[in-house]
C-alpha cells in the first residue's frame, strides 16, 4: 500500500511540475511577447511600444522635392549649435527641434516632439538596414513619461547627427555604447 501511495504522489508531483512549466511558457509568450525591436528591457517597455505602435505610425510627409543628401547638408550647418530645451534656431536647439528646423528649411513640417516625429515614415527595426536620411529614435535618454526620448538623422557610415545636451549639435556613431543600447528603431521618410 505504501508503494502505491508513493508512486501516485510522485506522479502527482511530476504532473504538477509539467503544468507549471506549461503555464510559465504560455504566460511568457502571451503576456510578454518578444518584439522584433531591439533594446526593450521590460514588459512595461514592451507595453509602451505596443501602445505607441497601435496609436498609429507611418504618417506620410512629402519629401519628393528634396533628397536625403540635401537634408544632411542642411543638418550639418547646425553642428556646434548649443543645446536648449525647446530650441529650433542657430542660437540653441534641442534634438526634435533640429529635425523641425532642418526639414522646415525644405518646406517639410514635423512636430517638435521626438515621440510624435517617430510616427512619420516606415519603421525600420535593424541598424543594418538604415539608409541616409532615415530618422533615428532612442529611449531612456533622460527621465520622462515619454517612451521615445531622442531623435536624430542617420547620415551613413553608422553615424547620426543629433543634438546632445552636452555637445550641442554633433555627429555620433551608433556604435557608441550609450546610444547603441538606447536605439529603438528608425523611420524611413524617403523612398
- 137 - beta bridge partners? 151, 185
Any catalytic annotation for residue 35? no
Contact between 134 and 71 (Cβ < 8 Å): no
DSSP output for 62-127: --TTS-HHHHHHHHHTTTTPPB-TT-BSSS-B-HHHHHHHHHHTTT----SSHHHHTTBSEEE--G
Which position has the grid cell 536620411?
Answer: 133
CA 62-139-181 angle, 5° bins = 115
Any catalytic annotation for residue 30? no
- Of 20, 27, 30, 95, which one is the catalytic site residue? 95
Any catalytic annotation for residue 20? no
Catalytic residue set: 95, 150, 162
Amino acid at each position: 500500500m505504501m508503494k502505491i501511495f508513493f508512486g501516485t504522489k510522485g506522479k502527482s508531483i511530476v504532473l504538477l511540475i509539467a503544468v507549471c512549466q506549461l503555464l510559465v511558457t504560455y504566460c511568457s509568450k502571451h503576456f510578454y511577447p518578444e518584439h522584433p525591436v531591439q533594446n526593450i528591457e521590460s514588459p512595461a517597455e514592451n507595453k509602451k511600444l505596443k501602445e505607441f505602435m497601435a496609436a498609429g505610425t507611418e504618417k506620410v510627409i512629402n519629401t519628393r522635392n528634396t533628397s536625403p543628401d540635401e537634408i544632411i547638408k542642411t543638418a550639418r550647418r547646425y553642428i556646434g549649435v548649443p543645446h536648449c530645451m525647446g530650441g529650433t534656431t542657430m542660437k540653441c536647439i534641442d534634438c526634435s527641434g533640429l529635425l523641425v528646423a532642418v526639414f522646415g528649411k525644405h518646406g517639410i513640417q514635423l512636430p517638435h516632439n521626438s515621440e510624435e516625429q517617430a510616427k512619420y515614415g516606415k519603421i525600420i527595426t535593424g541598424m543594418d538596414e538604415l539608409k541616409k536620411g532615415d530618422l533615428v529614435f532612442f529611449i531612456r535618454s533622460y527621465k520622462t513619461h515619454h517612451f521615445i526620448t531622442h531623435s536624430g538623422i542617420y547620415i551613413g557610415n553608422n553615424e547620426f547627427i543629433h543634438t546632445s545636451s552636452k555637445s550641442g549639435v554633433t555627429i555620433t556613431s551608433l556604435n557608441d555604447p550609450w546610444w547603441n543600447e538606447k536605439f529603438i528603431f528608425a523611420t524611413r521618410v524617403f523612398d
